[in-house]
């Protein structure tokens, strides 16, 4: 059965200096623990928090803007419509470029 989540059911999880994390869908909004989708919005030149998902692979999709994903010691360029796949346990943070950065994050939580 399809589930449509409208904006009034989406919640801001965290905010920091120049960034916001919004949960678009999770077990509470879609009624299943199969997936989590979040949107990260970064102001120009903002740096996000350090993130690690212990046992979950995750996908980051660049909606708009550009920046850098710092994964361990590696710096990876992020551009519009690029996709970054991360393995379980990868530690990373995101840095926005001069025009800001919007990221769609998706992962399946461990059961």
Q: Which pLDDT tens digit goes with each residue over 10-31?
A: 667 788 999 999 888 777 776 6
Q: Domain for residue 2, yes or no?
A: no
Number of other residues whose CB lies within 10 A of the CB of residue 39: 17
Q: Are 43 and 75 in contact (CB under 8 A)?
A: no
Q: Domain for residue 82, yes or no?
A: yes
State the CATH number of the domain containing residue 24: 2.60.120.10
- Domain hosting 94: range is 7-107
Q: What is the pLDDT of residue 111?
A: 59
Write out pLDDT tens, residues 78-104. 999 999 999 999 999 999 999 999 999
Write out pLDDT tens, residues 58-85. 999 999 999 999 999 999 999 999 999 9
Q: What is the pLDDT of residue 102?
A: 98
Domain count, the chain: 1
Q: Domain for residue 1, yes or no?
A: no
Q: Domain for residue 76, yes or no?
A: yes
């Amino acid at each position: 059965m399809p589930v449509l989540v409208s904006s009034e059911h989406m919640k801001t999880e965290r905010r920091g200096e120049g960034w916001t994390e919004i949960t678009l869908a999770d077990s509470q909004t879609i009624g299943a623990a199969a997936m989590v989708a979040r949107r990260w919005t970064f102001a120009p030149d903002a740096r996000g928090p350090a993130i690690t998902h212990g046992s979950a692979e995750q996908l980051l999709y660049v909606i708009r803007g550009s920046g850098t994903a710092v994964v361990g010691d590696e710096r990876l360029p992020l551009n519009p419509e690029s996709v970054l796949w991360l393995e379980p346990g990868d530690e990373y943070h995101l840095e926005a470029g001069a025009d800001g950065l919007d990221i769609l994050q998706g992962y399946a939580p461990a059961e």
